[in-house]
Structure 1
Amino acid sequence: MTDPTGFVRERSRGETAAALLRTTTAVRDRCGQLLDRARVGQSQWFTVDDGRLREAATAIIRSIRRRAGSHATPYSRWRHLEAGRVDGRAELHRLLGDVAPQVRAHALVDLAVVTVLLDVPADGSWKYVEPATGTTLHGPEATAVAAFHAFTAGLFSSDKLRPLQVDAQALRALPTDGLLQALQVREGNALPGLNTRAVLLRRLGEVMAEQPEVFTDDARPSGLFDLLVGDEGGIAHSADVDAHDILSQLLVSLSPIWPVGHSIGGVPLGDCWRHSAVRGDGASDGWVPFHALSQWLTYSLLEPFEWSGVQVRGIDRLTALPGQHEGGLLLDAGVLRLREPDAARQAWHPGDEIVVEWRALTVALLEELAGTVRGDLGASGGGLPLSVVVGGAADAGLDCARREREGRTALLVQAEAPLA
């Protein structure tokens, strides 16, 4: 006979650990532990050459200046649209016409969510031809523009009279063929991982339908906006929100959609991975949290909130992102070196300690590099948010990958499922 008190204790233990691991404080602490070890030669996988940080900082600064000129904009999925020569905000405003600010905010939030969830890592072989201009796009800008056109065509809406929305009914019935067509996937133009993203979108539909208290009876992603800042009369003039509160709500409400099966006491952890050298309290010991996709989604929601008149506080409470191009820049610049060069020719899985450590070192080193970049550009933290530095690193790393390896990352990670 099952002991119910044992189940309750284990569940409580899991909830305590998950609450700790869902904080950006834990992300910074655990990643910092691994950087400290690597710097004193205790890493099995990497050495750290602090003398090469200047080269990485220079590449990031060059990328920021090239992309933004004198006006550095936060890194988000909206930058991918702009890189694909689509002004998502302006075009959505045009299509919506004269609507209430809250309706506009809902559309922006819905669009941000689906474009992020369709941010499929794409190598140099897949391409997307933008219908209006005939421009051929590759990489993240291609998936962003493709997702934008799918959204405006009503692929994610069950109401054909209201195509500019995302709702649970449409996502639960999302046809894979429709998504393949929207992203121009066919023989000779494959996009590995897209089927997994289709499953992710369907799971989002299920989760939204099951949580009307979060996503409202309309079961739309934009229910998060109303939950955090809205009221029955619309958007209050004094509305504000903390960036970490957006992330926390995403981590709690969307935890069932992530395919990563890590849990403690039945409580899902999302993008958290084991590393034998990491220490922490209680059941969180040995776990390294990243929450990369959830933080990427948070970064991409900040502008829709701000465009809607909501003041977003505490943006730098979010961490740097452990993306493969960001981490690739650190390897290409020589800041990180593999102890065994042959490791670059192997295929690894997300749970392998070399990958967990690479991601952790990427987060910790980018946060250090942010100070150098700000100093060189004469900017404070408020004048140059961490997300701008992360964006510069991602762009610089992608440039290196395209130049050196036809778009392949410096360390090959086989991850069919997205990292939450």
Structure 2
Amino acid sequence: MPETLTPSATVAFLRSPRAIRERCRALLELGLAGRLAHFQVDMSRLPGVADFVLDVTRESYPSLDIPVHSRWGHFDVGGVRRNAQLEARLAALPHAERARAKLDLVITSVLLDAGSGPSWKYVEPGGGTYARSEGLAVASFHMFLSGAFSSDPKQPLQADAEGLRRLSLEALARGFQVTADNPLAGLEGRLALLQGLGRVLPRPGALYDLLAARGARVTATEVLSQVLESLGPIWPGRVTLDGVNLGDVWPHSALGAGDHPDSLVPFHKLSQWLTYSLLEPLEEGGLRVTALDALTGLPEYRNGGLFVDAGVLVPREARLLQEAFAPGAEPIVEWRALTVALLDEVGKSVRERLGMTAEQLPLAKVLQGGTWSAGRKIAAQKRPGGPPPIRIESDGTVF
């Protein structure tokens, strides 16, 4: 990044998928040269990862009809057709209002999706028991349907500013069945995000109107840009530049001095996960989203754990597999950056094996097929209960 960029231009750059890829790729290049402090990179193991990802993909999607990696698939976990239940309740609404309602649901659900911790679970009334991301999805789905995020009892199927700002820790804990015996990591952080959301938008579904104002076609990068601009102020305790909260952006000493923008590595994991999850309702509302592959892979513990467990990323110190780290700790920043860059490489390898183009199999489908499930599967093979190989102290706002 040229040093002549103004602060505002630097902020815009750090909010772009191009910046994510460039900074993460720069750290991968340093890793390949053996110049990183925390991980060695063994690219000889990468073909095996691509083979494993393809095997997992074929198990789940034999016809290779793979959806985009988004929150919507989690809502139907356990073979329960919850999405159809939602569709039935929204059927009488115009397309645009259905899109707004679905954005209300999926935005609140994604913001509640940071790592749950190893022992939390959700027991669905009259149904199954779910943990981790799927459990968080089902819990947030039922909270939404019950009107927990709406200030208007006559309009329960929405989230609005007043309803989100008034949400209490007790109500959130009750909705997620949190008790002393069923603790959920980062509950306060999750509440802060939802309350913050209520301060920046009249309702989450207002993103539909902001994007529709751009025209009937928007790029995935434009969607991400709008998400980052609209939701930027809600992220707590983050790096700021020119008075702007950068969100999921962290320094790494290998790229520059800690007080210089060159050291900053952007990820925007939850914002990109959210962007992927907005595509379906936006298109239902009449907006066509293009250039999906501009977005990057998601640097979270399933994708990142895949590369550690498969031996592509080798920790230089045993403590990386023994201690728990804060999201901003440099080993975690390094791990996440290498994960983003390696996901691009896996995507290329999987497409080559299938003879498909990036348009036919964008990275979002490789993730879904894919790397996330492969990370979970190999973790279950290696450790009882399937926790990730590296532990993060979740504050409920990053992973």
Secondary structure of the residue aligned to 1:73 is: coil
Match of 1:394 among 366, 372, 379: 372
CA displacement, residues 84-143 of structure 1 (integer Å, 9 cap, x when unaligned): 4344442211012322111111111111101101113123421111224x2111111111
The residue number in structure 1 matching 2:151 is: 158
Distance 1:239 1:371 in 2: 30
TM-score after normalising by structure 2: 0.93
Q: Is the 8 A contact 1:18 1:268 kept in 2?
A: no
TM-score after normalising by structure 1: 0.89
Distance 1:126 1:402 in 2: 17
Distance 2:367 2:232 in 1: 25
**Alignment root-mean-square deviation, CA:** 2.0
The residue number in structure 2 matching 1:141 is: 134
Q: Is the 8 A contact 2:24 2:265 kept in 1?
A: yes
Change (3 A) 1:60 1:99: same
Distance 1:418 1:372 in 2: 32
Change (3 A) 1:196 1:109: same
Residue 400 of structure 1: how far off its partner (Å):
2.4
Runs of 4 or more consecutive aligned structure 1 residues displaced over 4 Å after TM superposition: none
The amino acid that maps onto 1:360 is A
Q: Is the 8 A contact 2:66 2:365 kept in 1?
A: yes
The residue number in structure 2 matching 1:261 is: 238
The residue number in structure 2 matching 1:113 is: 107
The residue number in structure 2 matching 1:288 is: 265
How many residue pairs are counted as aligned between the two chains? 391
The amino acid that maps onto 1:223 is A
Residue 417 of structure 1: how far off its partner (Å):
4.3
Match of 2:179 among 155, 168, 186: 186
Q: Is the 8 A contact 2:19 2:266 kept in 1?
A: yes
Residue 230 of structure 1: how far off its partner (Å):
5.5
Match of 2:218 among 241, 250, 253: 241
Match of 2:90 among 84, 88, 96: 96
The amino acid that maps onto 1:249 is Q
The residue number in structure 2 matching 1:227 is: 210
Does the alignment pair 1:38 with 2:31? yes
CA displacement, residues 287-332 of structure 1 (integer Å, 9 cap, x when unaligned): 1111111111101101111233321111011111111111100010
Q: How does 1:199-238 map to 2 (within 5 A)?
A: 199-208=192-201, 219-229=202-212
Does the alignment pair 1:362 with 2:339? yes
The amino acid that maps onto 1:398 is R
Distance 2:263 2:253 in 1: 6
Structure 2 unmatched runs, 5+: none
Q: Is the 8 A contact 1:123 1:407 kept in 2?
A: no
Q: Is the 8 A contact 1:260 1:417 kept in 2?
A: no
The residue number in structure 2 matching 1:9 is: none
State, as a whole percentage, how many aligned pairs show the same letter.
44
Q: Is the 8 A contact 1:14 1:266 kept in 2?
A: no
Does the alignment pair 1:29 with 2:12? no
The residue number in structure 2 matching 1:419 is: 398
CA displacement, residues 332-382 of structure 1 (integer Å, 9 cap, x when unaligned): 011111122332112222222211111000000000110111122332212
Distance 2:113 2:193 in 1: 12
Residue 50 of structure 1: how far off its partner (Å):
1.2
Change (3 A) 1:357 1:254: same
